[in-house]
Chain A
């Protein structure tokens, strides 16, 4: 033990701390720009979906600036990576709040990340938009959080109606992924289906990382399901479709929004999509109007991949935000109030109106695949839209 060593260790400690202070400097805004924040999973296992809204937000940023910015000032989105961890998501939010002092922050689309960051949002007093579907988030009644997608339980009622009137099935089987989204959606559907006077003959679940669904699919068939409803993500959704065909199960399958996401459609064949319906967040493209069509083709041209409604709703949120900034300026409370009173705003994804729970999106659409192709066609809106 020597005094030299103590000094050495002390120096090490000091050096560490110096490295830490390097991040102390708060970036000041340039005088001619307005900076908002966005926490997005850019790396890690959630990046697959994160990329969609990362791209959508970039496009929104460029479009806003091309239209003259915010009253002449440049509009910039500062991104922080949330990866796949709650504490990193919270850190990302706090970092943005402290370093950029933004008037607004876009949150990620994962319910548990949104739940984790909720208290930090309330503490910071920054208006945010999020896309996690969990009902638990709105139940917090946080006045600073606005949901830009339909909540998970909305699909339940809509599917119940679709099963009865469109698919004409009396006995229904449900299969869902075992997580907050799948379980909540499955529960909501069970209740809604019973309310519609139909029977739930089977309820199967699987883990998000599972690969073989033959037990669940066969069980659904065994128990006499006339239609199956699936709440899944991309990879598992694709596997459900492929394995359903591989097992020779002809029962029509109604899936969640992930079924129309490009990364899923690329994995399956048209034969796999036979008899598949999808209850989607929204139908991008022609049915939504020319703005939507243009959005889709521009997105494809720039990012070489098809836009999906999980990303495009962020584009809409950014446009609403730009309107807000132009009208009321970068004032957090005023922007919050602006978002709380959005009514019948037509974006590229859907029409938005904010209710008293902070939910801005209230419709879903039923589509099905044209036989032998991968193209979707609209069957109907729930609730029926007067768009």
Chain B
């Protein structure tokens, strides 16, 4: 896989900015950025399921919740070390995705959309009522932070780099998947399911694997959230959160990993930028999303791409 030099340049610029962020921005903004990066992991997962494979997943927050609760319970109730709980929680989320996806992915289009909505509702009911397991509405508190040896990622600055490291890792994995044979199968399934079925692509298996991966990503996002906030409750993983994740993906560019990350950052900061609107900020937000959908159907990433395409040919490499 040869990567053109300018793209490396782009990655370097982003990398420098990302590494320097803690000194460039205010402590409060750093906190928002950390939460944005944690969300970005879940959004990259959505990119795999929806952006590449075309599965309308309105319930990603449920898997974020599964990851968060699993890790929180393992560390607080069973005394697991965080580094043991983390992979365990990711695996649990993935398995949950597989078990739920197996029956659900036979549906398509708006039926699938509504079924995933049902997923959110179910998650809410379970987390609120299975009090012995989840603490009910009181949630789970005292979730430990993450540490390595004697070093704790307790400060915002250190946690930022931890989150950035995880995000980079999963983004690279996602990019590798995209470039692989499986990645091509995913896109084929999205573009024309019937045709690629006829061509021997194992459609259902592709969908299931994509869904499972997205759930695993969501689970990882949840684990980081739990150990950063040290407190989780059912409301952290509700329908609003699920919709927000999808909006992040759409705004950023549905079939682009960088777009997913950009979307997560933009939507996480939008409330801060729109704060001057006071009580009317949600109105503007909603209308803004519709405008982005209409004018930038491929999100910010698509806009950047088409801007690049419109440059005079002399400036472009062949």
By beta carbon, the residue of chain A nearest B13 is: A10
Give A residues with C-beta under 8 Å from B: 1-10, 12-14, 16-17, 19-21, 23-26, 42-43, 84-88, 90-91, 94-95, 98-99, 111-112, 115-116, 118-119, 134, 136, 140, 178-181, 183-184
Given A2-B317, A9-B13, also A20-B25 (CB < 8 A): yes
Cα-based distance from A23 to B29 in the complex (angstroms): 7
**B307 on the interface (CB 8 Å rule)?**
yes
Chain B residues contacting A25 (CB-CB under 8 Å) are: 26
Chain B residues with CB below 8 A from A19, complex form: 269, 273
Interface presence of B122 (CB below 8 A): no
Find out whether the CB atom of B33 lies under 8 angstroms from the CB atom of A5.
no
* Highest count of chain A CB atoms <10 Å: which of B28, B272, B281: B28
In the complex, which residues of chain B have a beta carbon less than 8 angstroms from the beta carbon of A179? 128, 137
Is B229 interfacial (CB-CB < 8 Å)?
yes
B137 with A112: CB separation less than 8 A:
yes
| Count of CB-CB pairs between chains A and B under 8 Å | 142
Give the CA-CA distance A136 to B138 in the complex, in Å. 8
Contact partners of A84 in chain B: CB under 8 A: 235
Q: Decide: B25 and A6 in contact? CB cutoff 8 A.
A: no
Query: Can you list 18 A-B contacts with CB-CB less than 8 angstroms, sorted by A residue number?
Result: A1-B4, A1-B308, A2-B6, A2-B311, A5-B307, A5-B311, A13-B14, A16-B265, A17-B25, A21-B25, A23-B26, A43-B278, A86-B236, A94-B31, A115-B139, A119-B141, A119-B231, A136-B141
Within the complex, which residue of B6, B137, B269 is in contact with A183, where a contact is CB–CB below 8 Å? B137
A23 to chain B, nearest CB (A): 5
Classify the secondary structure of A's interface with B.
helix
Q: A9-B13, A10-B13, A112-B139 are in contact. Are A178 and B129 (CB under 8 A)?
A: yes
Given contacts A17-B24, A24-B26, A119-B230, contact A3 B129 (CB under 8 A): no
Contacts of B229 in A (CB 8 A): 86-87, 90, 116
Q: Which of B277-291 touch A at CB < 8 Å? A: 278-279, 281-282
- Closest Cβ–Cβ distance, residue A73 to chain B (whole Å): 26
Tell me, rounded to whole Å, the shortest Cβ–Cβ distance linking B152 to chain A: 13
Cβ–Cβ contact B21 & A95, under 8 A: no
Whether A87 and B304, one on each chain, are in contact in the complex, defined by CB atoms closer than 8 angstroms, is no
A10 to B8, CA, bound (A): 12
**B32 proximity list for chain A (CB < 8 A):** 91
On whether A23 and B231 interact (CB within 8 A), knowing A8-B307, A183-B137, the answer reads no
On chain B, the residues within 8 Å of A23 by CB distance are: 25-26, 28-29, 272
Give the CA-CA distance A84 to B233 in the complex, in Å.
Answer: 12
Cross-chain contact B17 with A112 (CB below 8 angstroms): no
In the complex, the answer to whether A87 meets B29 with C-beta atoms within 8 Å is no
Residue B131, interface by CB 8 Å? yes
Which chain A positions have C-beta within 8 A of B311? 2, 4-5
Once the chains bind, are B304 and A9 in contact (CB under 8 Å)? yes
Q: Is the CB of B26 within 8 A of A134?
A: no
The distance in angstroms between the C-alpha atoms of A289 and B179, with both chains bound, is: 76
Contacts of A8 in B (CB 8 A): 304, 307-308
CB of B297 closer than 8 Å to a CB of A: no
Chain A residue numbers with a CB within 8 Å of B21 are 17
> What residues on A are CB-neighbors of B129 within 8 Å?
178
The contact size tier of chain B is: 35 or more
Using CB atoms, name the residue of chain A closest to B131. A183
Kindly list chain A residues whose C-beta atoms are within 8 Å of the C-beta of B7.
1, 6
Cross-chain contact A115 with B138 (CB below 8 angstroms): yes
Let me know if A111 and B138 touch, CB within 8 A: yes
Judge whether A24 and B29 touch: CB under 8 Å.
Answer: yes
Which residues in window 202-245 of B have CB below 8 A to A?
229-231, 233, 235-236, 240
B10–A10 touching, CB < 8 Å: yes
B102 at the interface (CB under 8 A from A): no
Q: Which residues of B contact A21 (CB under 8 A)?
A: 24-26, 29
Q: Which residues of B contact A20 (CB under 8 A)?
A: 24-26, 29, 33, 269
Minimum CB–CB distance for A180 against chain B, Å: 4
Q: How far is the CB of A116 from chain B (nearest CB, A)?
A: 5
Which A residue sits closest to B124, measured CB to CB? A207
Chain A proximity mask over B259-272: 1 for CB below 8 Å, otherwise 0: 00010011001011
- Closest chain A residue, CB of each to CB of B271: A88
Q: Is B148 an interface residue (CB 8 A)?
A: no
Question: How far is A5 from B24 in the complex, measured between Cα atoms in Å?
Answer: 23
B110 in the interface (beta carbon within 8 A): no
Give the nearest-CB partner of B24 in chain A.
A17
A3 touches B9 (CB 8 A): yes
A210 smallest CB distance to B (angstroms): 13
Asked whether A98 and B281 contact (CB < 8 A) given A19-B269, A84-B235, A90-B229, the answer is no
Cα-based distance from A130 to B141 in the complex (angstroms): 18
Determine if B282 and A43 form an interchain contact, defined as CB atoms under 8 angstroms apart: yes
CB of A43 within 8 A of CB of B279, answer: yes
A1–B311 Cα distance when bound, in Å, is 11
Closest Cβ–Cβ distance, residue A235 to chain B (whole Å): 18
CA distance A95 to B31 in the complex (A): 10
Closest 6 pairs (CB-CB, A-B): A24-B26, A180-B137, A6-B10, A10-B13, A5-B308, A20-B29
Beyond A17-B25, A99-B28, 16 additional contacts (C-beta under 8 Å) are A4-B308, A9-B13, A12-B304, A16-B266, A23-B272, A26-B26, A43-B281, A91-B31, A91-B32, A115-B231, A116-B139, A136-B138, A178-B128, A178-B129, A179-B137, A183-B131
Task: Give Cα A137–Cα B162 distance, bound, in whole angstroms.
Answer: 30
Residues of B within 8 A of A178 (CB): 128-129, 137
CB A41 to nearest CB in B, in angstroms, measures 11
Task: Give the distance in Å from the alpha carbon of A328 to the alpha carbon of B85 in the complex.
Answer: 47
Give the chain B neighbours of A86 by CB distance below 8 A.
Answer: 139, 229, 231, 233, 235-236
B79 at the A/B interface (Cβ < 8 Å)?
no
- Determine if B27 is an interface residue (Cβ-Cβ < 8 Å): yes
B302 interfacial by beta-carbon distance below 8 Å = no
Nearest CB on B from A277, distance (A):
26
